[in-house]
Amino acid sequence: MRMNSIITTEDTIAAIATAINIGEGGIAVIRISGADSIQICKTIIETKSKFAWKTHRVFHGFAKDISENKYLDEILVLVMKSPNSFTGEDIVEIHCHGGIIVVNRILELLIKTGKIRLANHGEFSQRAFLNGKIDLTQAESINQLISSKNVRSAELAFNGVKGLIKEKIDSIKNNLIEQLAEIEARVDFEEDFKDFDYIKFEKNLNKIKNEINSLVETQKRNSHIHNGISIALIGKTNAGKSSLLNLLSKQDKAIVTNIPGTTRDIIEVDLTIHNIPIKIIDTAGIRETKGIIENIGISKSLEMIKKADYIIYIFDIEKGLDLEDEKIIKKIPNQKLITLIGNKLDIVEKNFSESNNQCRNTIYMSIKNKKGEQKLINEIIKKCSSEKSENIEIFLNDRQLSNLISSLKNLNDTKQIIKNKLPFDLLSIELRDSIKNLSKLTGEELNEQLLDNIFSKFCIGK
């Protein structure tokens, strides 16, 4: 076995299972899993609790360094004995005070026993998978849930944790197995059957293909639920892009000054507007400059016009739209442009008539005074509406979607066999490959290297 492999072993492993920061977090949790977890923890934990070391009971104690006869922290301990635990092994969770120092001292004390090693990324989840406690889609959904950036993404991830992805894939797979079973029965007992009905088979297969295709297209269309819709703020220097970013995010994320060219790199903020997950991207102002660093930022801004899902173009009302603005706006595809924003209405308001200056697809704002904010939000909702995502129940990651597409390709490859009425047993090859790709999705057809790759993307304590 490779040295860096995280395929389960008989090792007892430990890791910090909660986020830790200096001065933050009331508690931290250290998770220990493996056959020796209880016995090892007994050597560093002192307790007088009558519930000590009983399964699924929380008891009080102290973490103690026996070699120095020194108490490290007052703790709570939770024991979950095999097989009734997340990993299917004996698990001990030590709940200590938060921060960085205390939790790391206790972890170091466990490692110092020489009988526990630090867990690799995702090793707890991988053991749960290999021990049959969860399937691969549930494991990946747990990781998805942890990394969710909005409520909708978390809801879909939790559906995966509950097993809804596997349920849907198993339903498709069982329908394919039913078609395959008839073909293979015909191969073995052909004399007991009527001639193979290619039309009926194609009709049954099309139902399955439509189900897979619908799932693929839905996932592609709604990938923004987890990743977020990206909206780039584009415009010349000092037009108010950074101020708008701060207004929408309700925080001072970008530096705002009157000095042109302040933003020299891409600044991103994730937020949710009416259940739409959005990534607002503040770009460098576009202008003629000799500054090397600023020129790099401007190049990134022009590149972002191509990369972002949508664009908001901001210009200074006082200066008006000039040829340079119009030249940049022409680079923005119509389907990407949410709106133009004429900013600094507060400066020109006395002499400004919106009816006389209304350009097509333009909102006039005073970002400084928050005037026009609701109009802009309404326009964003209108353009980026997530109504089509309301009926979606699951979220598939790139790996899962790739397996699903491969499965669909296998089924599409049956067209020529059916059209030319070639020997029907050839269909079994494509059906088997399609079923195999579906099994890869749920984790029934995976090799060690691929498993390592999947779980290495998880956090260490998961």
User: Using CA atoms, how far apart are residues 79 and 298, in angstroms rounded to an integer?
Assistant: 56
Highest averaged pLDDT of the listed ranges 145-159, 201-215, 263-277:
201-215
As assigned by CATH, the class of the 12-134 domain is alpha beta
pLDDT band at 260; cut points 50, 70, 90: very low
* DSSP-assigned letters across all residues of 157-208: HHHHHTTHHHHHHHHHHHHHHHHHHHHHHHHHSGGGSPPP-HHHHHHHHHHH
User: Using CA atoms, how far apart are residues 392 and 394, in angstroms rounded to an integer?
Assistant: 6
pLDDT digits over 342-375, tens only? 888 888 776 666 655 556 688 999 988 889 999 9
**Is the predicted pLDDT of residue 293 greater than 70, yes or no?**
no
Match 């990394």 to its residue by tokens. 147
Fold of 146-221+394-443: Four Helix Bundle (Hemerythrin (Met), subunit A) (1.20.120)
**Is the predicted pLDDT of residue 243 greater than 80, yes or no?**
yes
What average pLDDT score do residues 431-446 get?
Answer: 89
Taking the CA atoms of the chain, what radius of gyration do you get in angstroms?
A: 29
φ, ψ of residue 75 in degrees (nearest 5): -135, 165
What average pLDDT score do residues 314-328 get?
Answer: 84
pLDDT band at 328; cut points 50, 70, 90: confident
pLDDT band at 73; cut points 50, 70, 90: very high
pLDDT-wise least confident of 135-139, 250-254, 289-293, 311-315: 289-293
Instruction: Tell me the β-bridge partners of 273.
Output: 276
Residue 183: its pLDDT value, please? Answer: 84
**Is the predicted pLDDT of residue 104 greater than 80, yes or no?**
yes
One-letter amino acid identity for 28?
A
User: Using CA atoms, how far apart are residues 61 and 46, in angstroms rounded to an integer?
Assistant: 6
Higher pLDDT pick, 147 / 214: 214
Q: Around 25, how many Cα atoms within 13 Å sit in the side-chain half-sphere?
A: 19
- Cis amide prior to 260 (ω within 30 degrees): no
Count helices and strands (H / E) in the chain.
Answer: 18, 13
What average pLDDT score do residues 442-446 get?
Answer: 80
Alpha helices in 308-397 (DSSP H): 323-329, 345-348, 354-357, 373-383
pLDDT band at 150; cut points 50, 70, 90: confident
Instruction: Tell me the β-bridge partners of 58.
Output: 78
- Determine contact, residues 44/65, Cβ cutoff 8 Å: yes
**Is the predicted pLDDT of residue 189 greater than 90, yes or no?**
no
Percent of the chain whose pLDDT exceeds 70: 81
Higher pLDDT pick, 249 / 41: 41
Alpha helices in 189-275 (DSSP H): 198-221, 224-227, 241-249
pTM: 0.71
The mean pLDDT of the chain is 82
Residue count (the chain)? 462
User: Using CA atoms, how far apart are residues 347 and 395, in angstroms rounded to an integer?
Assistant: 47
What average pLDDT score do residues 82-97 get?
Answer: 95
Highest averaged pLDDT of the listed ranges 71-80, 94-103, 388-397:
71-80
Highest averaged pLDDT of the listed ranges 95-104, 247-256, 297-306:
95-104
Residue 381 corresponds to which tokens in the numbers above? 């909702």
Fold of 226-388: Rossmann fold (3.40.50)
pLDDT band at 1; cut points 50, 70, 90: very low
What average pLDDT score do residues 300-308 get?
Answer: 75
pLDDT band at 295; cut points 50, 70, 90: very low
Instruction: Tell me the β-bridge partners of 281.
Output: 232, 268
What average pLDDT score do residues 199-215 get?
Answer: 92
Residue 4: its pLDDT value, please? Answer: 46
Highest averaged pLDDT of the listed ranges 47-61, 334-348, 432-446:
47-61
User: Using CA atoms, how far apart are residues 350 and 397, in angstroms rounded to an integer?
Assistant: 53
- Residue 294: name the closest of 267, 266, 264 by CA: 264
- Residue 10: name the closest of 173, 178, 131, 186 by CA: 131
What average pLDDT score do residues 293-306 get?
Answer: 58
pLDDT digits over 4-26, tens only? 444 556 899 999 988 777 667 78
pLDDT-wise least confident of 256-265, 293-302, 315-324, 365-374: 256-265
User: Using CA atoms, how far apart are residues 381 and 187, in angstroms rounded to an integer?
Assistant: 57
pLDDT-wise least confident of 128-132, 152-156, 207-211, 292-296: 292-296
One-letter amino acid identity for 404?
L
- Determine contact, residues 137/400, Cβ cutoff 8 Å: yes
**Is the predicted pLDDT of residue 449 greater than 70, yes or no?**
no
- Cis amide prior to 83 (ω within 30 degrees): yes
**Is the predicted pLDDT of residue 127 greater than 80, yes or no?**
yes
User: Using CA atoms, how far apart are residues 328 and 317, in angstroms rounded to an integer?
Assistant: 16
For the chain, what are the domain ranges? 12-134, 146-221+394-443, 226-388
Residue 393: its pLDDT value, please? Answer: 85
Same fold, 12-134 and 146-221+394-443: no
Q: At what angle do helices 198-221 and 398-412 cross, to 10 degrees?
A: 160
Higher pLDDT pick, 392 / 371: 371
**Is the predicted pLDDT of residue 106 greater than 90, yes or no?**
yes
pLDDT band at 430; cut points 50, 70, 90: very high
Buried b (16+ CB within 10 A) or exposed e, 17-56: beebeeeebeebbbbbbbebbbebbeebbebeeeebbeee
